[in-house]
Structure 1
Amino acid sequence: MKIVIMAGGSGSRLWPKSRKDKPKQFTKVVGGKTMIEDTYARFVDHFSVDAIYFSTIPSFEKRIKELFPDIDGSHIIVEPEKRDNAAAHGYVAAYLSLTDENEPLAFIPSDHYIKDVEKFNITLKVAEEHIKSTGNMLDIAIEPSFPSTVLGYTHIGKHIETSEGVEIYEFLGHTEKPEFSVAKEYVDDGSYLWHGNYYMWTPKKFLEAYKKYAPSIYAHLEKIQHLLKDGDLDAIPGEYAQIEETTIDFAITEKMDPNEVRILKGDFGWSDIGAWDMVHDLLSYDYDQDQNVIKAKHVSVDTSGSYVSAPKGKLIATIGVDDLIIVDTPDALLVCPKSRAQDVKKVVEELKNRGEEDYI
């Protein structure tokens, strides 16, 4: 199986640490390594370096080469520009189809936290064998612990089998980022899991799905596939720029026959590090006596349940506040209630509207 670490995203909800020139996958948010380094480290003891690839955009290519000097340049798949993940996944499938169109591949987000790395890799191995034996697309979904409105939900059907401790289920459908009331119903129902976004299949099967369910996207991917094969690389950006900006969920998986898909239940201590409230919760092992996570020189008076981060040498003092997010950087400061952490992306949107590119 080929492992493809997806590293072209922006991570606007972790602003102001996550910026367009240095998004969250290249920042140290949890632990002493960047997120992308943590992601890569999960695989080095379980897959050969030759099986690991990165998918990114031109502005991040140099940084990936610096972080991972052992990775061959041909294993850094550089999309011509950022055009959401339907284009990115399709481009990777077209690229890898030229080496072995029938070898399973796994798309791996670069900004997830995995507690049990061994169990995670066992889950991938089970997926690989299932793809080879059935031809199904595989995805991983996770038991929800609260009603999230920023994650997608996977509806599972009957239990099919258990392999090496990994449960495999029927796929009944996918819902992207529901309203809170709907998310609560899903969690109470028990047959809806958080969508992990770990799509696994073969390059050939992915491209066939684009052809069937997203023919307008496939038309460009087919041309790109031929351009890659012929070595006509200069013509690829113009073709890629015509691909619709949408997600692979909307383009393909929500339209697929459920019988083509199987769901692996992920039981390995998972979190999508998507916003500052999640960072606070993940760092519970670092709580002080008042459940604060402090990454700064800090003076606290009656402060609890808060996350405080600041550059070295900056003192932060808090008085009488609870459940607050404070993230200070050299040029920007964020202060918000933990309950509004998902709205940080609105700040980034407002900065875009104002033309404040230096702060994005």
Structure 2
Amino acid sequence: MLCALIMAGGKGTRFWPLSTEEKPKQFLNLIGSETMIQMTVNRIKPIIPLERIFICTGEMYVDLVKNQLPELPYRNIIVEPEGRNTTPCIALSALVITRYYKDSTMVVLPSDHLINDEEEFRRIILESDNFIENNNNAIITLGMEPTRAETGYGYIKCSEERNKSIKNEAIKVEKFVEKPNKELAKEYVLSGNYLWNGGMFIWTVDNILSEISKYSPNTVESLHNVQDVEEEKLQALINREYIKTEAISIDYSVLEKSKEIYVIPSDFGWDDIGSWEAIERYTEKDELGNIVIGHVTSLKGNNNLLVSSNHRVIVEGLSDIYVIENDGKIIIGQKSNVVNVKELKKII
């Protein structure tokens, strides 16, 4: 039985001031009419019903989840008392899922990614599920075909020369590599043997708990009673025991050490909407090359990024700038420096 875990605890600091700690990017309408988390749930819902979709998030975001996903069962909101990276999040969620769906397979998805070809995405998820059914000890990750020498993503190196004529073949992973510099990124793309790491995984619940127990034993040991405790005592147990888990990412705790990791090369129009540059790639521009989002009027200027959430903003005769407004904070700068906008938070 296939279940989904959507991780929605991030704070989205790269999109400040539009994304704030109180309302991070997964709860914002960055592209289109739906918020990022709504897009993620609606994308997977045709193959996994809502009762088997779980959201792991922080306590301060529970009301946002309930408001944006009102049909999601309340039991499916898994509440972290504090953020401790992805290993505790995945272990806790796997244990909660086993309360209701034993012997299940889970697909783990970030809450804030863009996927253009959703039908192809779902087909690959189902193909991965079939692979796991026949290889219970395997971990599948989805590797995105790189379209540019991107320095903002991690990469996955395939363990053998890829046969690109075989579509979506599961290939053994040689290693995961950190975000490279520009020169390394160019080498990776030219080699044809590296894929972008999209942070999406498929595994059996039993296998991932076994792997975390092997490589991060305190984490599962601290939380093992989650699967059996009475419902009314569940959150109190989580609040008490979660602090004892190891605060480490799943990449470092399991993926760099596990022996049975496979990647399925995927091409479904994926992007990690993690920066203002990403918004530029997917937002329609006006006739002067401006991106205008929200209560903004642009006069005569060109090649601007103009975003306003609450107040009317009028920009006249200026070009190559960004203006970002949210909750009364207005940040203005050269568009070429928008990548550094989050650093300004330290001085406001």
Residue pair 2:216, 2:246 contacting (<8 A) in 1 also: no
Tell me, yes or no, if structure 1 residue 244 matches structure 2 residue 241.
no
Deviation sequence 1:298-352 (CA, Å, 0-9, x none): 3344522x32112466233254532x4321123212334455444334334x26x
Residue pair 1:213, 1:252 contacting (<8 A) in 2 also: yes
Tell me, yes or no, if structure 1 residue 34 matches structure 2 residue 53.
no
Tell me, yes or no, if structure 1 residue 181 matches structure 2 residue 183.
yes
Q: Write the letter of the residue equivalent to 1:347.
A: L
Query: How far apart are residue 58 of structure 1 and its match?
Result: 1.3
Taking structure 1 as the reference length, what is the TM-score of the superposition? 0.87
Equivalents in 1 of 2:186, 2:335: separation in Å? 19
Residue pair 1:161, 1:168 contacting (<8 A) in 2 also: no
Q: Unaligned stretches of 5+ in structure 1?
A: none
Equivalents in 2 of 1:263, 1:231: separation in Å? 39
Q: Percent identity?
A: 27
Residue pair 1:137, 1:201 contacting (<8 A) in 2 also: yes
Counterpart in the other structure of 2:261: 261
Equivalents in 2 of 1:337, 1:145: separation in Å? 27
Counterpart in the other structure of 1:166: 168
Deviation sequence 1:8-56 (CA, Å, 0-9, x none): 1111101111111111111111111111111111123332222222111
In the TM superposition, 1:220-299 aligns within 5 A as 220-225=222-227, 227=229, 231=233, 233-257=235-259, 260-283=260-283, 286-295=284-293, 296-299=295-298
Deviation sequence 1:102-145 (CA, Å, 0-9, x none): 21101111101111111110011001111111121111111122
Taking structure 2 as the reference length, what is the TM-score of the superposition? 0.90
Q: Write the letter of the residue equivalent to 2:237.
A: A
Q: Write the letter of the residue equivalent to 2:298.
A: V
Equivalents in 1 of 2:222, 2:62: separation in Å? 23
Counterpart in the other structure of 2:340: 343
**Relative to structure 1, is the Cα distance of residues 22 and 144 closer, same or farther in structure 2, using a 3 angstrom cutoff?**
same
Equivalents in 1 of 2:36, 2:131: separation in Å? 29
**Relative to structure 1, is the Cα distance of residues 213 and 46 closer, same or farther in structure 2, using a 3 angstrom cutoff?**
same
Tell me, yes or no, if structure 1 residue 97 matches structure 2 residue 98.
yes
Aligned residue for 2:245, secondary structure, equals: coil
Equivalents in 2 of 1:94, 1:42: separation in Å? 24
Equivalents in 2 of 1:154, 1:112: separation in Å? 18
Residue pair 1:65, 1:71 contacting (<8 A) in 2 also: yes
Equivalents in 2 of 1:264, 1:309: separation in Å? 37
Residue pair 2:43, 2:118 contacting (<8 A) in 1 also: yes
Aligned residue for 2:143, secondary structure, equals: strand
Deviation sequence 1:123-177 (CA, Å, 0-9, x none): 11001111111121111111122233321111113348988x5332221110122
Residue pair 1:227, 1:233 contacting (<8 A) in 2 also: no
Equivalents in 1 of 2:310, 2:11: separation in Å? 25
Query: How far apart are residue 87 of structure 1 and its match?
Result: 1.4
**Relative to structure 1, is the Cα distance of residues 21 and 313 closer, same or farther in structure 2, using a 3 angstrom cutoff?**
closer
Tell me, yes or no, if structure 1 residue 151 matches structure 2 residue 153.
yes
Counterpart in the other structure of 1:6: 7
Aligned with 1:307 (options 305, 308, 311)? 305
Equivalents in 2 of 1:215, 1:64: separation in Å? 31
Q: Write the letter of the residue equivalent to 2:112.
A: D
Aligned with 1:330 (options 317, 327, 342)? 327
Q: Write the letter of the residue equivalent to 1:46.
A: I
Q: Write the letter of the residue equivalent to 1:328.
A: E
Query: How far apart are residue 275 of structure 1 and its match?
Result: 0.8
Moved more, 83-92 or 149-158: 149-158
Residue pair 1:297, 1:312 contacting (<8 A) in 2 also: no
Aligned residue for 1:334, secondary structure, equals: strand
Counterpart in the other structure of 1:44: 45
**Relative to structure 1, is the Cα distance of residues 330 and 21 closer, same or farther in structure 2, using a 3 angstrom cutoff?**
closer
Equivalents in 2 of 1:13, 1:59: separation in Å? 19
Equivalents in 1 of 2:193, 2:230: separation in Å? 42
Moved more, 272-281 or 54-63: 54-63
Alpha-carbon RMSD across the aligned residues, in angstroms, is: 2.5
Residue pair 1:86, 1:245 contacting (<8 A) in 2 also: yes
Query: How far apart are residue 253 of structure 1 and its match?
Result: 0.7
Deviation sequence 1:271-293 (CA, Å, 0-9, x none): 1110111101111xx22233221
Aligned residue for 1:70, secondary structure, equals: coil
Q: Write the letter of the residue equivalent to 2:253.
A: A
Q: Write the letter of the residue equivalent to 1:186.
A: Y
Aligned with 1:207 (options 203, 206, 209)? 209
Count residues in correspondence.
344
